[in-house]
A and B are shown apart, each in its own frame.
Chain A
Amino acid sequence: MEQSREYGVLVSLDNPRVEGEPIPWMIPEVPYQSKSLHNLPLKHIANIGPGQRNRATVLEVMCIRESQGERSYYLVVFSEYGTEKEEVPSGVRPRIVRCVLKESYPPTTVEFVPLMSKVKALNPDIVFICSFPTDSVGIVKASKEIGLAPKIFGGFMVGLQLASIQTQLGPALNGLIVHHTYVPAPKMKFPGVEDVLARYQRQALEAGVDPLGWYNAPYAYAMMQVLEAGVRGCGCLDDAKIADWIKNHEIETVVGKIRFAPNGEWAKPRTLFIQFQNIRSADLSEFANPDKIVILWPEEYKSGEIIYPFPGWR
């Protein structure tokens, strides 16, 4: 096992024990590994991340305004790893989406100005990006510097959910649409989550971790609640029985009720797609205000309307 830098919790994907052994692996959110994960015979895995297979949905959220107009538009896709290139989601009709560039970049990329200049030269309507934290920041900075102005900008940009990065980018985040796991909007105040976040935030600054903790803390807590429920539910410590119980029951947690599908993902994916709106400064209070982190999707948790095209980007 190794410690994940992004999530601060235990992750093991390449451990030989994963394959075939009846261990109820609780996997914290692993956005970029789902493909390799599902290629393994992992009968006992449960991914606490609220659904990785709906990654393309953010693209649909991005496309929805254009698709209503039934016009052609352009799409640019990035991914950090070539094997994980995003495809146009089935929900968006190919005739209204034309991908003008698919590009991957190596993890060692230091500077993104050349790459984003290449994007700018194509003048896309939508820029869809999958990136890790340092790259996400580099991409936003480079895009602003070169004056890239798509109608919609965002994607699966990991890191932009963390307060330590948000407070450095400040208003530059306005308009971006990215995935998120938790925002304390009125429809997402599940029993117990506010208490967990309050306790987390009291200790976070001292521990040198994300001061808000929206992205990770509730799910880290929920992960242990699921395991607890599994142990209590089957009344034993038998790994296979615990895993079986977890897979076959709906479990009440601080992030709501969770039911796992046979593949170990959430039966009903719930990754949020949010848009940063009206961020006026780089102060932490701006990002602690759920009114400025507007949930666009899923519909049942929606907290505001998409601003499109976003003035700051166009």
Chain B
Amino acid sequence: MLLYDFLINSFIVGLLVGGFYAILSIGLSISFGLMNMVNVAHPTFIIIACYLVHLLYNFFGLDPIIGGVILTPLFFMMGFTLYHFYYRFFEIRSESSLMGLIFFFALLVLGEIGLVLSVGTNYITVYTAYTMEAINIGIIRIPLRLLYPFLAGLATTIALFFFFSKTFIGIAARAVAQDEQAAMLMGCDPLTVRRIAFGLSILTTAIAGGLLIAIQPVDPFLDRQLIGKVFAVVILGGMGSLLGSLIAGIILGVVESLATIFFQTGWSYVITLFILILVLVFKPSGLFKR
């Protein structure tokens, strides 16, 4: 394999993996970036979605990506309801920061244990028509298992971007994040807006779950491996910036891929964290604004 073939293919794979990182993180960008909710259970919702997608796959033969999309109303309602609980017991008492973190950590543990008790510790995975298939475009070889999640992640990110920048509820959510009092004076109901925003945040985990299980096997504890990655993407991209999360995900994906080629694989994470530290030092708000 020629060097430039090798580099181009590695870059493409990094790009595709980065798009996948973005969809894993985009919901956290909404909850953490726009609503100041440190939802450490975000990856746990993704894993729960994986198991539900797996159920749909087993019983109805549904493609995992379609399964994830089908689950979105359920996850939206889950987030909508959960926010109400969070608001009632934490936010309204001004205990949202530390107690909220503990609440979400408890959700993480409950989610893991709930999965273990209900479905066991077995690895689940899916086999689709595009698993282990690739398309060749000249010298470029693109694994479909990565391409489809990338496209789905891209579409979700763009849809959410337009939702938060063009619709009344979306703009209201950003307004509430900036200045709740002012937003109320403009006729916004912050509680409803936040409920919807958190519902959307959890909705994205349904799609991310479908994409995750299409890419790799899943067990109830996989969320712990994802926590660092999703927070890194959100912080690097800029708190609350959806396109920032997309670009940050792609940067991390490409850097990891190229670092794997030029150095030992373990160094890819060191380089990723080094970039994150540089950004925090020189641009603490992240690469992009809300």
Contacts and interface: CB of A to CB of B under 8 A. Distances in A.
A107 B226 CA distance: 11
A114 B121 CA distance: 29
Nearest to B265: A105
A107 B225 contact: yes
B120 interface: yes
B145 A145 contact: yes
A3 B145 CA distance: 32
Contact of B6 (A104, A110, A117, A209): A117
Nearest to B264: A103
Interface string A194-218: 0000000000000111100000000
Contacts, number: 121
B17 A111 contact: yes
Contacts of B218: 134
Interface stretch (A90-98, A164-172, A262-270, A288-296): A164-172
A56 B271 CA distance: 32
A168 B127 contact: yes
Interface residues of B, number: 44
B133 interface: yes
B119 A208 contact: yes
A115 B258 CA distance: 10
Nearest to A170: B127
B124 A164 contact: yes
Contacts of A107: 225
B2 to A, nearest CB: 9
B229 A114 contact: no
B143 A134 contact: no
Contacts of B96: none
A145 B143 contact: yes
Pick from B127, B133, B256 the residue with the most CB of A within 10 Å.
Answer: B127
A121 B146 CA distance: 20
Main secondary structure of the interface of A (DSSP, over half): helix
A141 B256 CA distance: 19
A138 B218 CA distance: 11
Interface in B102-149: 119-127, 131-134, 141, 143, 145-146
Interface string A78-119: 000010000000000000000000011111111101110110
Contacts of A207: 120
A137 B119 contact: no
Contact of B260 (A114, A137, A145, A164): A114
A165 B125 contact: yes
A137 B212 CA distance: 13
Contacts of A302: none
B229 A118 contact: no
Interface string B211-252: 000011111011001001100000000000000000000000
A105 to B, nearest CB: 4
Pick from B217, B221, B261 the residue with the most CB of A within 10 Å.
Answer: B217
Contacts of A159: 123, 217
A106 B217 contact: no
Given A164-B123, A209-B122, A5 B221 contact: yes
A130 B132 CA distance: 21
